[in-house]
Copies of this chain bind each other. A is one copy, B any other.
Amino acid sequence: MLTEALRRLPGVGPKSAQRMAYHLMQHDRDGAALLSRALSVAVERIHHCAMCNTFTESEVCDTCLDTDRNRALLCVVETPADQLMIEQTLTFKGLYFVLMGRLSPLDGIGPKDIHLDRLIARATDGQVREVVLATNFTNEGEATAHYISETLKARGLEVSRLARGVPVGGELEYIDAGTIARAMLDRRST
């Protein structure tokens, strides 16, 4: 039963699950108890931030409570991991909205599943001036950005998108034509 349960962890197959179960039972029963408690506490306490929809144990997450942040800027990301990546660049001092997914009609994921109604309410709070779309640059991420952009612009908000172009360190010879095309069309004065 433990082996079966461990297989619910992403990337863990039958062999790994068996090895993990054996290790915990034979060598680390304290670890097993600790993991059990941590999972139980997490299931009980972790829910979505009332403002930005990310995971938090509080009603509103620490980021949204941070009074040093610029409340006129709202960055829309797909996942908490994406938010973390942007935070690490130290280039954005506004707030976030975490979709916890992306539009994916083929998988039956529509506007409701990515909490678009909540995003609209959040973005039209009277304080937000610009919404920065930072969904991924995959087909689904681009479609999601386009859909959100149309929806929010219809409500009079300024909407922007992370720049597309050649990544840092990129050599033209090894970059796809679509990226170079975009970089040429979006070229900037130096």
A residues neighboring B (CB under 8 Å) = 77-79, 81-82, 85-86, 88-92, 132-134, 136-138, 141, 145-146, 149, 153, 158-173, 175-190
Contact = CB atoms under 8 A, between A and B. Distances in A.
A175 B86 CA distance: 10
Given A91-B181, A159-B190, A163-B166, 9 more contacts: A85-B177, A88-B180, A137-B166, A138-B170, A158-B189, A161-B187, A163-B187, A163-B188, A164-B167
A149 B173 CA distance: 22
A185 B86 contact: no
Q: Give the 8 A-B CB pairs with smallest separation, nearest first.
A: A163-B165, A165-B165, A163-B186, A89-B181, A162-B183, A168-B178, A167-B179, A149-B190
- The count of identical subunits is 2
A166 B164 contact: yes
Contacts of A149: 190
22 contacts: A82-B173, A85-B172, A85-B177, A86-B184, A89-B178, A89-B180, A91-B180, A91-B181, A133-B190, A134-B172, A137-B167, A137-B168, A137-B170, A137-B171, A161-B187, A162-B184, A163-B166, A163-B182, A163-B184, A164-B183, A165-B166, A165-B167
A160 B186 CA distance: 10
B190 A188 contact: no
A190 B153 contact: yes
A187 B164 contact: no
A169 to B, nearest CB: 6
